[in-house]
Amino acid sequence: MLRVVVVDDEALARARILRMLRELPDVEVVGEAADGVEAGARIEALAPDAVLLDVHMPELDGLRLAQSRAMPPVVFVSAHAAHAVAAFELAAVDYLLKPVTRERLRLAMDRVRRRVGQVQPEVAEVLEAARQRDLPPRLAARDGSRVLLLELSSITRLSARDKYVVVHLRAEARAGAGELLLDDSLNELETKLAPFGFLRAHRAELVNAAAIVALHVADAKATIELVDGGVAPVSRRALPELRRRLSGACPTG
């Protein structure tokens, strides 16, 4: 019997997956969780054979949870395909797109069965090394039909546009790249990237502090000049905190 924990912050999506799993004769759902923090506790307490893990969740998302601890075989579940590459970098067994069908779920469980008991030591070693070095995450951005994994150091800013976020890169990283898009909201990205030096400059702008050349303030208006030649607006609300964080780090004018 395959013992499974299901993690999804959307109650309806979680209930649907639970219902389909319970239709499988050799799968036992031993627990569920609505966020990454709760999931970590459930996984530690229940020691399941596998976890079905949503990517987008508040506080601690699925990818960060999988990076943060030793995990049983993981099947990631998401409404977006953009995180698939990052998921498989974490040795995911499968990656299911919502709405999940019965057939794809059955196939994912078959793949889990083949993985159970065959965890490769080198995977655990790589994840442990990453935790110890506190490596910054990479962002998976869409470039047409491609998905590119971007180092944070190559990004100068992230700008909200309609339903997407546009990635702006340093000149040396732009070669061959078209318009790069993220499906995450700017609020989600701010939470994820704040520990790595990204600052909210405006409701539509998240900037990499390491890419700032100058902060310009004139006539009650403020802008940030970036190394890629771009200029980002700074809102009145964000200006005091931005000045405090950048004090002594970049020139102003």
In which residue are the tokens 């953009």 written?
A: 82
For CATH 3.40.50.2300, the residue range(s) in the chain are: 2-133
Q: Residue 139's closest CA among 200, 181, 92?
A: 181
Long-range contacts of range 195-200, CB-CB < 8 Å, 24 or more positions apart?
196/136, 196/137, 196/152, 197/152, 198/152, 198/158, 199/238, 199/241, 199/242, 199/245, 199/246, 200/238
Taking only the tens place, the pLDDT of each residue in 95-149 is 888 888 899 999 999 889 888 755 444 444 544 544 444 446 778 888 887 788 8
In which residue are the tokens 């209930």 written?
A: 15
pTM summary value: 0.47
For CATH 2.40.50.1020, the residue range(s) in the chain are: 139-246
Q: What is the pLDDT of residue 67?
A: 82
In which residue are the tokens 């800013």 written?
A: 157
Taking only the tens place, the pLDDT of each residue in 11-48 is 989 999 999 999 998 999 999 999 988 999 999 999 99
Return the CATH number of 2-133, one of 3.10.290.10, 3.90.1150.10, 3.40.50.2300, 3.30.460.20.
Answer: 3.40.50.2300
Q: What is the pLDDT of residue 59?
A: 75
139-246, what's its fold? Answer: OB fold (Dihydrolipoamide Acetyltransferase, E2P) (2.40.50)
Kindly report the CA angle at 87 between 48 and 176, in degrees rounded to 5? 180
Taking only the tens place, the pLDDT of each residue in 159-195 is 998 889 999 998 887 777 778 999 888 988 988 888 8
